[in-house]
């Protein structure tokens, strides 16, 4: 079984993920842009497959009715989005150690994207989320990466 690792910039928080992960989706919503500094690219894993070392350094901040964002309280790196009513945990793609073996498959909430950039990679775009459910895959159920 593939094991992926990652963590924050300062190293206070590290994580290990066993098993498959969803391909990466970029979210352009106002909250993600504000929190990440640009748009937020994230994968997902089944929460019970994620082991977090240094979780005491993670601050959880609720920015929507849907879930909480987890970031390192020391260096500020965004790391996780913990969705209510779901067994999935979103993992910020930039925090994954390389190679991740994952690929970006599309963009969501393009209706809220910043006015200072264009999306020109030819990947699918959605003006809103995934039918209101942030844990739903972009189009149907793309194969998770082993
Ligand atoms: Zn840190
Ligand atoms: Zn977002």
Q: Where are the domains of the chain?
A: 3-112
Distance 30 CA to ligand 2 centre (A): 7
Residues pairing with 88 in the sheet: 46
Around ion ligand 1, which residues have CB less than 5 A away? 8, 10, 12, 72, 74-75
Per-residue pLDDT 10s for the chain (146 aa) are 899 999 999 999 999 999 999 999 999 999 999 999 999 999 999 999 999 999 999 999 998 778 999 999 999 999 999 988 888 999 999 999 999 999 999 999 999 999 999 999 999 898 887 544 444 555 445 667 77
Q: How many CB atoms lie within 10 A of CB 97?
A: 12
Distance 7 CA to ligand 1 centre (A): 8
Checking DSSP bridges between strand 24-27 and strand 104-108, what pairing results, if any? parallel
Q: Kindly report the CATH class assigned to 3-112.
A: mainly beta
């Amino acid at each position: 079984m593939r094991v992926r690792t990652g963590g924050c910039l300062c190293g206070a928080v590290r994580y290990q993920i066993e098993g498959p992960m969803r391909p990466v989706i970029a979210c352009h919503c106002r909250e993600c842009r504000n929190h990440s500094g640009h748009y937020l690219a994230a994968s997902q894993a089944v929460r019970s497959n994620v082991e977090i070392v240094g979780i005491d350094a993670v601050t959880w901040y609720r920015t929507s009715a849907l879930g909480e964002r987890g970031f390192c309280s020391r260096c500020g790196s965004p790391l996780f989005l913990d969705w209510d009513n779901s067994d999935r945990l979103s993992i910020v793609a930039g925090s994954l150690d390389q190679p991740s073996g994952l690929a970006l498959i599309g963009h969501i909430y393009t209706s809220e994207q910043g006015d200072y950039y264009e999306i020109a990679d030819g990947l699918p775009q959605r003006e809103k989320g995934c039918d209101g459910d942030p844990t739903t895959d972009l189009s149907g159920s793309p194969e998770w990466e082993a």
